Amino acid sequence: MNKKGILLVNLGSPRSTSVNDVKEYLDEFLMDERVIDYRWIFRALLVQGIILKTRPAKSAEAYKTVWTDEGSPLIVITKQIQKKLQKVVDVPVEIGMRYAQPSIEAGIQKLVDQGVTEIVLFPLYPQYAMSTTETVIEKAEEVRKKNFPTIKINYIQPFYNRDIYINCLAESIKEKLPENFDALQFSYHGVPERHIYKTDPTKTCNLNDCCSREDNPSHQFCYRHQCYKTTQLVIDKLNLPKEKTIVSFQSRLGKDKWIEPYTDETLETIGKKGIKNLAVVCPAFVSDCLETLEEISVEGKEQFMHGGGENFHYIPCLNDEDRWIEVVKILCEEKLNDFYLV
């Protein structure tokens, strides 16, 4: 009889805050062709010839500001999700990271060692992007074909518009939202504009006008549309005036055109436009990490206050909230049941 298991996959993190460990992590991360999608030689020149000469030291200092006694917040929180999920499902649950350790291969191996032959793999990203969901699936398939050819894997698809997720996210935001706020900013991780077009097999995407349409063939592959859809559904659920909400995109790298508007530029200017009390949430992430705890909660706050803001409130990710664990459980059980239909 086939035995089932669950593998939760998140982005990953350096092993420590040492410059060498951060450099090793960034090398693996940025050399992924779905993160920086240049030809290998140009990617290597950029990453290994330029970025890794200076960025690791700066990033190491940033990691030090968020590192906990237990280690990287992203790894710690993912383990907490695993532990809580294991208590409410009757199949083995392991974790893997797309970059660094514990790897996807190590996670699959742990499940195989427990007799698992059918795996539900959950990329912990609400929206679909080439540099998140797609690269996780491609890596898992590469590992499976090479080392575990008899193992079956069911992949959980992006859940950016699922009612159970939207309800969970909206309730979490509502509980943490200050009573007096001028605006709620939804800051999503950015991607280069060309990624949006490269991931659209329908060739119907036009960033100038189709994201706001009710329906378009490209929407199931369009990260930008999915971010705006998540935002709109949460706004509707919370019954917020649209004029009190902002959507922006953070963490851009290099000089290429990324999807706009940019979070940092927005934070630097909205204070002068009368927004003095700001709350920020980051729904591209389910676990707090460097991009939320340092880039938004620390750097973002400084940018907002320097630009004339007065009160800045960061709303944490879902992390290991019980309501989020219930959503993870439901999404995993749907895919576990799919094995019976094959």
**Numbered residues of the known binding site:** 189, 291
* Cα of 309 vs its chain's centroid, Å: 27
Cβ burial of 16 (10 Å; 0-12, 13-18, 19+) is: middle
For tokens 């699936």, the residue is 137
CA dihedral 79, 80, 82, 84 (to 10 degrees): 160
Residue burial 37-49, b: 16+ Cβ < 10 Å; e: rest: eeeeeebeebbee
Residue type, 53: K
**Percent of the chain as helix, strand, coil, to the nearest 5:** 50, 15, 35
**103 DSSP β-pair partners:** 97
Task: For 257-274, give the DSSP string.
Answer: -BSSSBHHHHHHHGGGGT
8 Å CB contact between 295 and 252: no
- Residues belonging to the binding site for Fe(2+) are 189, 291
8 Å CB contact between 279 and 180: no
DSSP-derived 3-state class of residue 139: helix
Using H for helix, E for strand and C for coil, what is the string for 153-182?
EEECCCCCCCHHHHHHHHHHHHHHCCCCCC
Report how far residue 70's alpha carbon sits from residue 222's, in angstroms, rounded to the nearest whole number.
Answer: 36
8 Å CB contact between 300 and 267: yes
Q: How many helices (H) and strands (E) does the chain have?
A: 13, 8
